[in-house]
Amino acid sequence: MAGKKFSSYHLAAALRREPDPAAALRLFLNPSTTSTAPFRYSLLCYDLIISKLAAARLFPAMESVLSRLASSPGLRPREQLLCCVISAYGRARLPAAARRAFAHPAFPEPRTARALNTLLHALLACRAPLRDLLMVCHETRIPPDAGTYNVLMRAAAASGSLDHVRHLFDEMLDRSIAPTVVTFGTLVTALCDAGRLEDAFEVKEVMVKRYNLTPNACMYVSLMKGLCGKGEVDAAVRLKEEMAGNAELVLDSAVYVTLLRAFFRAGRRGEVVGLLDEMKGRGVVADKVVHNALIAGFCEDERDPSAAFAVLDDMQKNVCKADTVTYDTLVAGLCKLGRWRDAAELVEDMPRRGCHPHVVTYRTLFDGMCAAGEFLEADQVLNEMVFKCFAPSKDGVRTFVQGIEKEGDVALLGSVLCRLAKVNALESSGWEKAVSGLLNDPTKMRLEKQLDSLRIA
């Protein structure tokens, strides 16, 4: 840059090239210029650095840059940047920050439905209830569009209120806002979840004939799940064939996962291989969800989990990394068969396989050992759980404590209570009963230290 003035154009180019958001921030704050005059930042420079910091969730730094932008005369950032900031807070599950960002003075008024819908999406991602979303719409007084109602209907569906979904749909029509494929898909999914399949198919027909809209893959999957849930697997297969006959639709793994699970539940395991061959023939990649569905099916269907382990091996060969769902399913299947030793070995081997066990993994193993009456082995798992600050399930604790009481191992019971207390894993009734048993035991003098520990905890 020798002999040339370093401009905002050069800074923007440097910011684009810099993959490290922290380094990009240093570039932004200290542009390479020999001039004594204040450096003039362009709107593009602000756009680039704020977007990078938002994506990296470096929110304090991002807010600092936004404050500079707000005090820069003549710079009016686009609403797209505001939406980027709001979405970042939504992904980080920070609803209050998302709402503050919506009103940030760095962005000029007025707000449009685009910004409103982005805020509603962010709040929905944070599991805000429908009433909060409706309140936002009321407070902003921004005229809603189809996207607004799509988010509100999704929130209503998430709350399990089909009546609210239908009310919002009717309100949308009353306002002469044309529903979209997403609108109909949300309504169909809510109807399927409520077991109203006939109504769901009627909505699909109205959508095609009256609004000239083609159902998308998500709608078909919802209908297929509804059919499979009622045991109408053949009807779901026919729906899949209807999809295949539409050149605009692409059959994805979600379609086949739905049918795979249904085949296993219906005891039609013999048709699984054919479905997998068809999936492969259509060029649909067997992803992690497909493999997990196969593992779950084989664990449920077989007395010998070798087929499930074969799927796990296939995942490794195809560079499809198994996740905690994969291993949790296998651990649960092994415990159900009473093969808790194999389950324990698998859990121990998980870190070597690149997947660390989490609280559900340990709870499944712990419950399996307790169900088998292997309380000493379960005690070792409890040790590891307490070390990692994981609490066992209430049912597992109940079975565990009752089992130790029946065996009459008072010393172990006192130790167990101490450890359960550390993770708040014992209900008050069980606590009182177990402590009462300790106090009434003839060896209670030897357990005074344990009881003191219980009182301290």
The predicted-structure confidence for 187-226, as pLDDT tens digits, reads as follows 999 999 999 999 999 999 999 999 999 999 999 999 999 9
pLDDT for the residue numbered 423: 86
Q: Give the model confidence (pLDDT) of 119-144 as tens digits.
A: 999 999 999 999 999 999 999 999 99
For the stretch 318-324, contacts whose Cβ atoms lie closer than 8 Å and that sit 24 or more positions apart, written own/partner, are: 318/286, 320/286, 320/287, 320/288, 320/291, 321/288, 321/354, 321/355, 322/288, 322/291, 322/353, 322/355, 323/288, 323/292, 323/355, 324/355, 324/357, 324/358, 324/360, 324/361
pLDDT for the residue numbered 196: 94
Scan for tokens 């309140």, then name that residue.
135
Residue 446 has pLDDT above 50, yes or no: no
Residue 455 has pLDDT above 70, yes or no: no
pLDDT for the residue numbered 330: 92
pLDDT for the residue numbered 409: 76
Q: Please, which pLDDT band fits residue 318 given cuts at 50, 70 and 90?
A: confident
pLDDT for the residue numbered 432: 52
Q: Give the model confidence (pLDDT) of 252-271 as tens digits.
A: 999 999 999 999 999 998 89
Q: Give the model confidence (pLDDT) of 357-379 as tens digits.
A: 999 999 999 999 999 999 999 99
Which of 31, 27, 30 is closest to 49 using CA atoms? 27
pLDDT for the residue numbered 188: 96
Range with the poorest average pLDDT among 1-5, 91-95, 412-416: 1-5
242-257 mean pLDDT = 90
Angle at the Cα of 145 (from 76 to 195), degrees rounded to 5? 135
pLDDT for the residue numbered 445: 46
Range with the poorest average pLDDT among 18-27, 130-139, 275-284, 297-306: 297-306
pLDDT for the residue numbered 306: 86
Range with the poorest average pLDDT among 66-75, 81-90, 163-172: 66-75
pLDDT for the residue numbered 255: 93
In this prediction the pTM is 0.79
Q: Give the model confidence (pLDDT) of 31-60 as tens digits.
A: 876 556 678 899 999 999 999 999 999 999
Scan for tokens 């704050």, then name that residue.
29
